[in-house]
Amino acid sequence: MKYRCPLTRARAGAGLALVCAATLSACTAGPQSESVQQTLAQTTPARRSVAAVALAQVGDRYARHMAGPSQFDDSGLAYYAYRRNGRALPRSLADQLNAGQPIPLAQAQPGDLVFFRTDSKDGRGRMTVGVVVDPNVAVIAVPGPSAQGGGVRRIKLHGRYWSQRLVGVSRILPNRNTSS
C-alpha cells in the first residue's frame, strides 16, 4: 500500500514545508503514524520537509542508479529528499556516509541519515542508507520487486532485522534547537 503526500511531488522549494505541514496526515498515514506526526510537528521546518519528502515516496519502486521522481535506489532516495528541499547532499552512498557528523541512534532526528549493512545474494553484504522520520522509523529503498518486500518503504529502526545491521547514524541538518 502506498502512503503519499500528494502535493510534495508537485511542489518544490520554500513552499514545500508549508504544503507538507498542511498535509502532514497524508504524509504520515500508515503504521506508527501518530508517533511520526508528533515527531514531525516538534522538529524544524527543514527536518520536517526532508522527512516528508522521503515519506511521500513510500510505495515507489526500487531501481538502481535512480534518484526519482518515482524510482529510487537507497542513496538516490536520500539525495532526492534533500535536493527537493534545496539542501546539498552527495549522490553516492560512500560520500553520504562521510558527509555528516556521526551521532548515536538515540539522538536521531527526522532528516538524519541511517546506514545499514544488509545481506546480499552474493554473500558479501552491502551498505544501504535511509532517512530517519521518527526515533523508531526510517524510510529506505530496498532492492527488489515490491511483491518481495522491495521498493521504498518504512522500516522500524529498533526491529530485530534492522537494529542488528545498523552501521551508524549521520547528522546532516542542524539540531532542532537551531533555526533552518
Residue 166 exposed, middle or buried by CB count within 10 Å (0-12, 13-18, 19+): middle
Q: Where are the alpha helices (DSSP H) in 57-159?
A: 74-83, 93-99
Quick one: what percent of the chain has pLDDT higher than 90?
Answer: 52
- Reported as a single tens digit per residue, the pLDDT across 14-47 is 333 333 433 343 344 454 577 788 878 888 899 9
Q: Mean pLDDT in the chain?
A: 80
For residue 113, list its beta bridge partners. Answer: 131, 170
Record the pTM. 0.78
Task: Give residue 57's pLDDT band: very low, low, confident or very high (50, 70, 90).
Answer: very high
Residue 145 CB coordination number (10 Å): 10
b/e burial code for range 19-40 (CB count within 10 A of at least 16 → b): bbeebbebbbbbeebeebbebb
Nearest Cα to Cα of residue 106 among 152, 55, 53, 163: 163
How far out from the chain centre does Cα 107 lie?
16
- 6-171: which CATH architecture? Alpha-Beta Complex (3.90)
Are 38 and 137 contacting, i.e. CB atoms less than 8 angstroms apart?
no
